Amino acid sequence: MRKKIVAGNWKMNNNKSETADLIQALKSLSFSTDVRVMIAPAFTHLAQAEELTQAGRIEVLAQNMNANDSGAFTGEISAKMLHSIGIDKVILGHSERRAYYNETDVGLKQKVKTALTYDMEVVFCFGEELDQRKAGSHFEVVQSQLETVLFDLNSTEWSKIILAYEPVWAIGTGETASPDQAQDIHAFIRGLIASKYDEDLAKDVSILYGGSVKPANASAIFSQPDVDGGLIGGASLNAEDFIAIIQSI
């Protein structure tokens, strides 16, 4: 049975002490056993975050990783390095990585393979841009992203995949997909997985929504039957807002 997940993507925010303070503020929170709460601090603070969360149920994930095991890739971080500090989850394919660092679905496919080799869970981000939504091609765009990156995985590998639909036009813009828009595309995504694999596998995949989720809109979005939680950017940097969002699930 799939779990509900609220994950905070802290992006390039928070220094060491701000990261620790935010974690301390979240640590006392209790939440239902069918909910998972995750945070993705910057690489430099992952080891600290892992230590600070050890006794509790908050899970720590990385925001990115390189597809290669090791080698001459200045400035990069490997799955092996993450693994060595106890990080067993990673966000891949975020639209900011695609837009600013030229990440492509073909390259992401390799990253997903590497992550799975290290038995890591992957939060795979995908979603259409504004002009694609306006042209009505968002279903095709999303289908192509999923097919290219994930549809040659076997069903055991799928147990390590969490999907995060993040329409680019809703990220950091204050504009959110309406609950109906989110439900429509999440149901479409689940249907795609069911037709490529089977209904049981499709039912087990958590599909998160990301893009300007705030305390004010979280429960309407999360109450949609195919929305299994959210990947939260800006609002996850504020303890009070992030806690309110977690409590909306």
Of 56 and 215, which has the nearer Cβ to ligand 13P?
Answer: 215
Interacting residues toward ligand 13P by CB under 6 A: 9, 94, 166, 171-172, 210-213, 231-235
Q: Which residue is nearest to ligand 13P (CB)?
A: 233
Q: Which is nearer to ligand 13P, 170 or 205 (CB)?
A: 170
| CA–CA separation, 40 and 11 (whole Å) | 7
Nearest CA to 156 among 127, 197, 185, 99? Answer: 197
Q: Which two tokens stand for residue 106?
A: 């073909």
For residue 70, the minimal CB distance to ligand 13P (Å) is: 28
Q: Whose structure tokens read 């979603």?
A: 127
The distance of closest approach from Cβ of residue 83 to ligand 13P in the complex, given in angstroms and rounded to an integer, is 23
Give the 3-state secondary structure of residue 40: strand
Which residues are tagged catalytic?
94, 166
Residue with tokens 């289908």: 143
The span from the CA of 41 to the CA of 60, in Å, is 8
Work out how close the CB of 12 gets to ligand 13P at its nearest, in angstroms, rounded to a whole number.
12
Cβ atoms of 83 and 118 closer than 8 Å: yes
For ligand 13P, give the closer residue by CB, 141 or 202. 141
